[in-house]
Chains A and B, each alone.
Chain A
Amino acid sequence: MHSVMQQPFKTAVLILVWGWLLFLVFVPNLLVVGASVMTRDPATFLSLPLNLDAYRQLFDPLYLEVFLHSLYMAAMTTLVCLLIGYPFAWALSKVGKQRQLVLIFLLIVPFWTNSLVRTYALKLILATNGLLNSALMSIGLIDEPLQLLYTEGAVIIGLVYLLLPFMILPLYSVFEDLRQELLLASHDLGAGRLSTFIHVIVPLTLPGVLAGVMLVLLPAMGLFFVPDILGGSRNLLVGNVIKNQFLDARNWPFGAAASIVLTVTMAFLMFAHRLSKRRLGEEGGS
């Protein structure tokens, strides 16, 4: 083995990256955990004594309702992304290789475009005198403009629009790996289409589904600018609550506790994803 002196390069690189992660990821996250058990203080943001008041406040009926509503919108977003994305990824994996590259490119172009601007574009379409209402009225389907903007639906549409590629890409990668022989074998063994789908395709694509759920559900709770632009004041995400507590209400312990809820959700989802991959590895033996 080389000693430290013989590998100054290795040592320098490791110190740099560990230093960065320690100082800008590990310590800050400890600070948030610390903040969540401290007491609110208007002057210095935080003060002693330590207590669990912030966590108790999470169960305050007023906030509990906001959280549950946020969770509902995030879950609906994830579900809609899954319902659109699953058949989409399947269909995508069936087209020719050359065309697939072009289609993937077309899918990630919006991802590279400013997400605020794309959310704003939805506002142009959904507004009371926006394009959708004008179109519906001009073909005589409705007489009066519908209230589309500043609704729960508008927030979900906005989140789906921003997050759909994050559902499709992991699903596409599992469909790409899906071996055609397995489907043929299932067919040869007498399984019908539905049975093949339930017993072969769904379990094999489950890690992709969970990866997609993880990539969509978490941002769908945090992207506070989507409700700000499309949702009005009644359709808030956990992200909006955290932002308000830190930047407006100055209640840091509560904001920190709310953000820990997100972190715990993330840990849970990551665990589920690992578990599904491991189980698949054991059963498939590949």
Chain B
Amino acid sequence: MSRWLPRIYLTLVYILIYVPIVVLVVFSFNESRTGYSWGGLGLRWYESLFDNRAMVGAMWNSLWLALSAATVSTVIGALTALALHRYRFRGKKLLNGMLFVVMMSPEIVLAISLLALFLLVGLQLGYVSLLLAHVTFCLPFVVITVMARLSGFDESLPEAARDLGASDFTMTRTVLIPVIMPALLAGWLLGFTLSLDDVVVSTFVSGPGYEILPLRIYSMVRVGLKPEVNALGTLLLVFSLVMLMLSQWILIRSKR
């Protein structure tokens, strides 16, 4: 095989991956009324996006949900990772296995099981049910991110802290937390993005009182073309890009 064949192949696949994204961004600046023809450059769809009250409301709801889901899952996930890393306890393998199964489960299976639970206990579908569901599917991702960081970590540090008389809690706070900080941030960002992107689970566990962005987009794109979605998609793309670069920057900086 020549040197060039793999490169040409890689380039080709990357082009295919990025063509739809480029089309989306270009069409978001389209002035034309219809979705397909080009009617000159303009910000028309961005304007109509921000004039749409329900849309802006859903955007804030989604942001708030993603912030809280990412934060709660990072706290619980980090504590779980620390426990899995530091302690021996009965059922450790089972805990690991359960987290793995949650991560692998098709989202729709998780979605209907949670719907059944919420209806059974009489929880009104809305912010709380969404939060519980989103934390549940983010949790395993945070745990593995933090575990990966902990596994490459010098064991003598916590031992030293203990020998100097620190309690478990103090040692965790002063030694372990600073070490896993980059993983906490990476896990938080991952949780934030997963929550903001989720359609499948949210379709089942959200109520009429709390509309979130992915469901709003879903109801828009099911019927025909809505050029506003191009503008919204472009904004979300820029937003994710900034988040992703931030997390990469944090991870790279922490390695030095």
Residues of A within 8 A of B (CB): 7-10, 13-14, 16-18, 20-21, 23-29, 31-32, 35, 45, 84, 87-88, 90-92, 94-95, 103, 105-110, 112-125, 127, 129-131, 134, 161, 164, 214, 218-219, 221-225, 228-229, 239, 242-243, 246-247, 252, 255-256, 259, 262-263, 266, 270
Contact = CB atoms under 8 A, between A and B. Distances in A.
B70 interface: no
Contacts of B169: 8-9
A259 to B, nearest CB: 5
Q: Is the interface of B mostly helix, strand, loop or mixed?
A: helix
B199 interface: yes
B174 interface: no
A136 to B, nearest CB: 14
B197 interface: yes
Interface of B: 6-7, 9-10, 13-14, 17-21, 23-24, 27, 35-36, 76, 79-80, 82-83, 86-87, 89, 91, 95, 98-99, 101-102, 104-110, 112-117, 119-120, 132-133, 135-136, 139, 167-169, 172, 193, 196-197, 199-200, 203-204, 214, 217-218, 221-222, 225, 229-230, 232-233, 236-237, 240-241, 243-244, 248
A130 B80 CA distance: 49
A18 B95 contact: yes
Contact of B221 (A92, A120, A224, A270): A120
B116 A266 contact: no
B104 A214 contact: yes
B23 A28 contact: no
A239 B108 contact: yes
28 contacts: A8-B169, A10-B87, A14-B89, A20-B76, A25-B110, A25-B136, A32-B116, A91-B6, A91-B10, A103-B14, A110-B21, A112-B240, A114-B197, A114-B214, A118-B24, A118-B233, A120-B24, A120-B229, A124-B27, A125-B20, A164-B17, A224-B108, A224-B200, A225-B218, A246-B112, A246-B204, A259-B113, A262-B106
